[in-house]
């Protein structure tokens, strides 16, 4: 296990995990329609996921332009901002409509988890 985590690998691409998460979002739409769940919850979860991805791309580009110390600070701020932003939106929605917040959280969590799983498979699936 120690050798698995300590062996450096190249940073994998972000396209496959993002495409997988987008597929999860597309597959969730007919389920929401058939089950009669709030479509606004699906839309809010999908918009949150797209917004987090867009912010992630912007932060990654900004970090690449700076020096080593500056880029780590930009990446840390971006991670914090994305997390707090999603939580603020979901808590604000939960105050007014709890069912909508649960639906949005479910959609966002499924897409994010699938994307994370594909990222890990891509990273550990590459040769050392």
Give the global pTM: 0.87
Total of domains in the chain: 1
What pLDDT does residue 5 have? Answer: 62
- Class of residue 17 by CB neighbours under 10 A (exposed 0-12, middle 13-18, buried 19+): buried
Say if residue 2's pLDDT is above 80. Answer: no
**Inside any domain, residue 61:** yes
**Residue 79, in any domain of the structure:** yes
CA dist 65 and 71 (Å) reads: 8
Residue 71 lies in a domain: yes
Q: Which domain holds residue 85?
A: 14-125
- pLDDT for res 10: 77
> Would you tell me how many other CB atoms lie within 10 Å of the CB of residue 46?
21
Mean pLDDT of all residues in 94-116: 96
Calculate the average pLDDT of the chain: 89
Residue 51 lies in a domain: yes
Domain contains 5: no
4 inside domain? no
pLDDT recorded at residue 80: 92
pLDDT band for 1, please (50, 70, 90 cuts). low
């Amino acid at each position: 296990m120690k050798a698995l985590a300590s062996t450096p690998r190249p940073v994998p691409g972000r396209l496959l995990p993002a495409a997988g998460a987008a597929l999860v979002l597309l597959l969730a739409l007919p389920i929401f329609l058939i089950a009669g769940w709030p479509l606004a919850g699906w839309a809010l979860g999908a918009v949150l996921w797209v917004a987090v991805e867009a912010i992630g791309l912007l932060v990654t580009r900004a970090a690449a332009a700076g020096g080593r110390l500056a880029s780590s600070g930009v990446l840390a701020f971006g991670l914090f901002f994305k997390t707090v932003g999603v939580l603020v939106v979901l808590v604000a929605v939960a105050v007014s409509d709890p069912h909508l917040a649960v639906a949005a959280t479910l959609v966002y969590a499924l897409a994010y988890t699938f994307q994370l799983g594909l990222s890990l498979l891509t990273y550990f699936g590459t040769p050392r």
